[in-house]
Structure 1
Amino acid sequence: MSEAAAPRIAVIGYGTAGRVFHAPLIHATPDLELAGIVTANAERAAEIGQRYPDVTVVGDVATLLARADEFDAVVVASPNGLHAEHARAAIEAGLAVVVDKPLAASAHDADALIAAARDRGVALTVFQNRRWDADFLTLRSLIDADRLGRVRRFESRFERWRPEPKPGWKRNAAPDAAGGILFDLGSHLIDQALTLFGPAREVYAELDPGYADSGVDDDSFVALTHVSGVRSHLWMSSVAPDLGPRFRVLGDRAGFVKFGLDPQEDRLREGAVPTGADWGAEAEDAWGRLGAGEAVEMVPSMAGSYPAFYREFAAALRGDAPLPVDPADAVANLRVIEAARHASAERRVVGLSGR
């Protein structure tokens, strides 16, 4: 890669993660080139040809990595259980790697990937895009400005109403498949809690199925006690007929309550191009409220910015900035997930080192 050339990025997988998030965001980033996509699905390959006619499409990871000299980085957007395998293969090929969350199916495997990337001298980061949600950016700015005072409790929810289960690999109950809602939506909720309030020292969880004969968790609750003293209460569900607030954050001077999800995912699903001054903007009726008692004000939402992840990744590849997400954060996330699974199975609070 010459200094003037935009890094050439290949995406492994063209399911929801690759098609909705990674390919559009990379394609819209001026400092990156969407150069390759791996899919064995003929219909998806045809769609790629229509949407990205200049992109090379190959049917498997081995074929892609046999042509590793044509690329500078790989995005792993395959099913969770394949993340570590595909990331390691790309690292061994000498390519920088972005892995969709979770980084791996276990903290042990994630640590091994970090060591492999360090030994090979390549960049490794994790796509924790919900750090660039409008509501999260707004809440973080309020905390940084000390608008709530000392935060005592952080309540966060990703809830959906799906009376029937959605089929697919996320329903795979095998331990190394990283299926279930804790690995899916929980990876976002835990990452946001740790980003805001630091490491956890105790974990309690209730991981429950929501459908008949379900082998995975569909309706789950995780409680964290952070080293900082903050308590995080996190709900994730596919079977919630009535949705709670996205955030309810209680400080010793004020609280912040916000309903509804960031609009970026829906817009990407609709095929919108993630550019323009209004990208990530929330309507006024979606703003959160801040206050105590009857003294309440509506807080304009900051614009969400999933494109910022790939702008920061491009800058990191040039050596101009750190990676957008430290992979060590993903290991901490996985340690909480593992503790939550133990806590639920053993009906007890599980302690962490707090590191």
Structure 2
Amino acid sequence: MSSRILNVGLIGFGLSGRYFHSPFLSVNPRFKLKKVVERSKNEAQEFDPDIENARSVDELLSDKSVDLVFICTPNDTHFQYAMDALENDKHVVIEKPFANTEAEARQLVALAEKKGLVLTAYQNRRWDSDFLTIKKLMNEGKLGDIIEYECRYDRYRPVAQAANSWKEQPGVGYGNIYNLGPHLLDQALVLFGTPESVTADIRTVRPGSVIDDYFDVRLTYADKLVIVKSSLMVYGNFLRYNLHGTKGSFIKGGLDPQEETLRKDILPNVQPWGVEPEDRWGKLYSDDFTGVIPSEAGDYMPFYDNVYEAIVEGTELAVKPSEILRTTRVIDLALESSRDKKVMTY
């Protein structure tokens, strides 16, 4: 194992920077969270007084000691900040959405390849407890061949409660399809690969909303139908996964507990970590067994370890550029499908 420590810079210290990345980076001895871009606040120093402050992106990127940059800013800034970071010879992790179009994503991937830099997307939901549980059941053959897969990720977020958030502003790269869509689509594409076609209904359902806040995206395969849905006008988020296969069905609700734990300022070196409460466990229905299935423990740390190993040891990325491009393309096709009311061939 290499003794090298990677110096990390964060661009942005909102929900993503403060509650997702900083806790994992701070307890992983392979990283040093060196510098954070905050234009006027000093919240990073409240988290850790040893973190240096940068008042601009240029100030961070000009620091030659920074090896790796995480981009945790509003969606419309991701592409340009990532291009600038790569041009300054930094390895880069981009929050979702990776880019607002497939064309932008391809430019980023091409530049990273040209400069020999590691570039990936923060698809942390691959390490959620529910998704790890589903993968385990499928790998064990408990469901047989999947015929239908449906995943939902709903929130109850009336416009009046969230009006000041940048996520509620109209513009390119904004709306729920860019916010929660990358999570659900990435999971589905990891499980089932490239679809034959994409059909989508993307709309606004909340009174007073100026963004799309509902989507229903359907991925067609030769032997299965995959549905991912999300609404910001659903009170409660219990409906999560419905899988139906040739040997059984699996129904599950609830959310992975890591985000709510991190928001309580509990660091991910506290054990046990990522263990779901029993009332969130799913139920398997089959001839061989019908009953509750204990959830696997979720843990986002393997994402960070993989990024380190890709940079220092040349290990293959877990979230590969080809997978990122596929997800971005599906979002492009979903938007076109919804706009033109037609089925899009992948």
Q: Distance in 1 between matches of 2:185 and 2:271?
A: 30
Match of 2:52 in 1: 56
Decide whether the 8 Å contact of 2:159 with 2:207 is kept in 1: no
Q: Distance in 2 between matches of 1:49 and 1:315?
A: 28
Match of 1:182 in 2: 177
Match of 1:230 in 2: 224
SS of the aligned residue for 1:233 comes to: strand
Q: Distance in 1 between matches of 2:25 and 2:40?
A: 21
Q: Distance in 1 between matches of 2:228 and 2:312?
A: 37
Decide whether the 8 Å contact of 1:157 with 1:244 is kept in 2: no
Match of 1:141 in 2: 136
2:166 to 163, 166, 169: 169
Alignment-mate amino acid for residue 294 of structure 2 = P
Decide whether the 8 Å contact of 2:19 with 2:263 is kept in 1: yes
2:89 to 85, 89, 94: 94
Match of 1:205 in 2: 200
Q: Distance in 2 between matches of 1:164 and 1:129?
A: 27
Q: Distance in 2 between matches of 1:84 and 1:133?
A: 26
- Give the length in aligned residue pairs: 343
Match of 2:336 in 1: 342
Moved more, 182-191 or 236-245: 236-245
Match of 1:12 in 2: 11
Unaligned runs of at least 5 residues, structure 1 = none
| Residue 35 of structure 1: how far off its partner (Å) | 0.8
Q: Distance in 1 between matches of 2:168 and 2:322?
A: 27
Note the 1:52-131 alignment, pairs <5 A: 52-67=48-63, 69-131=64-126
Decide whether the 8 Å contact of 2:79 with 2:108 is kept in 1: yes
Q: Distance in 2 between matches of 1:318 and 1:295?
A: 45
1:308 to 298, 302, 311: 302
Deviations 1:328-354 (A, max 9, x none): 2111111111111111111121111xx
Unaligned runs of at least 5 residues, structure 2 = none
| Residue 23 of structure 1: how far off its partner (Å) | 1.3
SS of the aligned residue for 1:246 comes to: strand
Match of 1:33 in 2: 32
2:127 is the alignment partner of 1:132: yes
| Residue 139 of structure 1: how far off its partner (Å) | 0.2
SS of the aligned residue for 2:153 comes to: strand
| Residue 169 of structure 1: how far off its partner (Å) | 2.0
Decide whether the 8 Å contact of 1:102 with 1:330 is kept in 2: no
| Residue 230 of structure 1: how far off its partner (Å) | 2.3
